[in-house]
Amino acid sequence: MLLLGSALLLAAPLFAQENSESKLVVKPSGRILLDAGLFDANKEINDKLNDGMAVPDARVGFKATYEDWTAKVDIGYAYGKVGLKDIFIEHSLGKQNLIRAGYFVHQYGLQSATSSSFKISMEEPRSNQALNNSRLLGLMFEHADDKFLGTFSFFSETDAMKMTSDKTGNQGIGVMTRLVYHPFTAPGRIFHVGLSGAYESPRYNSNSDLNHKSFVLSTTWPTRIAQVTSMSATVDNAKAMYKFTPEVTAAYDRIGFEGQYFYNAITREEGNHSFHSNGAYATVRGLLLGKQYKYNYWDGGIDTPARGSLELVLSYDYLDLSDSKAQVWGGRSNDWSATINYYINKYMIWRIRGSYTKVTDRAGYDDNHFSALETRLQIKF
């Protein structure tokens, strides 16, 4: 697989040139993240959250474009393991519409439109990690114009990309949509509000008693150097999950704000009480060096700042996976972080992040706290 990826990268420029008459363009892509961190935690979890270094993301891939068609393949090699990332085919329907089919992150809220390596707080909000989806195999339609962005997706569960249906059983399915109104999109004068909603049937579980009869909502401590679960809620006898998330984004000159609220409800069978969970984050960002913030229409959010920009990001995140009526105690957390981002050039970013996280009310665990000081150098092309 690695040799194939390398061969594609070497051949891509020649392939694009040889087919220039037919307007076929093949571009290589890649990504490397280099992390280092110092951690402190209470005794119960301290032996797992060790100081260290890591390469939490390393990818090789390509993107091919022919007329109104685009194909993308992105393969990850983080932690010495091969993993599938974006794999899709996309067709443009004029300048304002597209349809995409394959394995990718479908738009559901503000965070879903941003690549994992471009989270402004270095790590994604814990509420988004627990109450949103990662990549899904499915189909998405998107419309974007001067005032509105709208998407609609039909998808199968994540494990449909990893296992065949004879192993998963009848695969879980769902639908979701994201609607955004952005009346102000001029540089330094940005405002948008949005609402996303989704429905999902129960997911795959390796435990046959829970397979397609449950949902597992979980999140890790906010670092990728050590991957340790900090909260987890297993909801059995599940019938369906309904969820929604309102969002707001605003920027004036070099100051910006992003916020989002999550609500998930899981209905259950056999007289079990429905499970309710929620979360929210609020982020204030400001450019200490650089020009005004700009808007990205297709992503529906503030665009990556220009080269040479220096940014300060302050963020608070809340997550609740405990419901006394449902008798599920997944935990409650509060997370505070401060991040400095230096946008070295078009392809490189250097980040420094400090954070404090506290988790309470998780069944079988004492109240835990975690402090981290991390840095990351990343390149993406």
Concatenating the DSSP letter of every residue in 176-194 gives: EEEEEEEEEEETTEEEEEE
Would you state the structure tokens that stand for residue 263, as one six-digit string?
């609500």
**pLDDT confidence of residue 80:** 86
**pLDDT confidence of residue 43:** 79
Q: For 337-364, what is each residue's pLDDT tens digit?
A: 999 999 999 999 999 999 999 999 999 9
| Cα of 282 vs its chain's centroid, Å | 16
Confidence of residue 92 (pLDDT cuts 50, 70, 90): very high
Is residue 225's pLDDT more than 50?
A: yes
**pLDDT confidence of residue 21:** 60
C-alpha 150/C-alpha 26 separation (Å) is: 29
The label of the residue with tokens 């405990």 reads: 322
Q: Which residues contact 291 (CB under 8 A, 6 or more apart)?
A: 187, 254, 305, 306, 309
**pLDDT confidence of residue 152:** 98
**For residues 270-289, average pLDDT:** 97
Confidence of residue 49 (pLDDT cuts 50, 70, 90): very high
Is residue 114's pLDDT more than 70?
A: yes
**pLDDT confidence of residue 128:** 97
Nearest to 33 by CA among 11, 5, 9, 54: 54
User: Over the chain, what is the mean pLDDT?
Assistant: 93
The label of the residue with tokens 């065949």 reads: 164
SS3 55: strand
Residue 33's Cβ-side half-sphere holds a number of Cα atoms within 13 Å equal to 26
Residue 196's Cβ-side half-sphere holds a number of Cα atoms within 13 Å equal to 30
Nearest to 88 by CA among 63, 112, 118, 111: 63
Q: For 57-76, what is each residue's pLDDT tens digit?
A: 999 999 999 999 999 999 99
**For residues 160-169, average pLDDT:** 91
State the burial class of residue 353 (Cβ atoms within 10 Å of its Cβ: 0-12, 13-18, 19+). buried
More confident site: 54 or 11: 54
Backbone angles phi, psi at 362, to 5 degrees: -105, 125
Compute the chain's Rg from CA coordinates.
Answer: 21
Is residue 304's pLDDT more than 70?
A: yes
Residue 74's Cβ-side half-sphere holds a number of Cα atoms within 13 Å equal to 23
**For residues 26-35, average pLDDT:** 96
Phi-psi region of 108 (alpha: psi -120 to 50; beta: other; left: phi over 0): beta
C-alpha 79/C-alpha 77 separation (Å) is: 7
Confidence of residue 115 (pLDDT cuts 50, 70, 90): confident
Would you state the structure tokens that stand for residue 147, as one six-digit string?
């005032």
C-alpha 320/C-alpha 326 separation (Å) is: 13
